[in-house]
Amino acid sequence: MHKIIKLLLIVVVIIFLVMVFTSSSGYYEYELNKQTALTSDAIKQFEEDIKEGKEIDIKDYYVVDNKDYSNKVSKAGLKISNKIGSLINSWFQFIFNSIGKMVED
């Protein structure tokens, strides 16, 4: 029983560290900003079109940046992250299945 608790604690610490790293790198904020970014020029054009009473369609003002900024390091990081995610997923399945079997007994 102590081994299971120790393993759970280690898994929680690892998940916490991954979340801290993701947060400190600014990845989440970058993705949110990328999804909602309007350039200052687009905002000015939008305001002028409203003043002039033109028909407004947000697609005309939304800036989509389709540049691929990935490199070997980011691709390797993504692969490692996916492997860690699948490993943690399998750990959780094992842990919860074990707990379920213990509860059933």
- List of residues 6+ apart from 46 with CB closer than 8 A: 38, 56, 61
pLDDT of residue 90: 93
pLDDT (tens digit per residue) in 55-90: 888 777 766 666 777 888 888 888 998 999 999 999
The confidence band for 20, taking pLDDT boundaries of 50, 70 and 90, is: confident
pLDDT (tens digit per residue) in 21-56: 877 777 777 777 766 666 667 788 888 888 988 888
Helices 2-25 and 72-104: angle between axes, nearest 10 degrees? 150
pLDDT of residue 83: 92
Residue 86 and residue 80: Cα distance in Å, rounded?
10
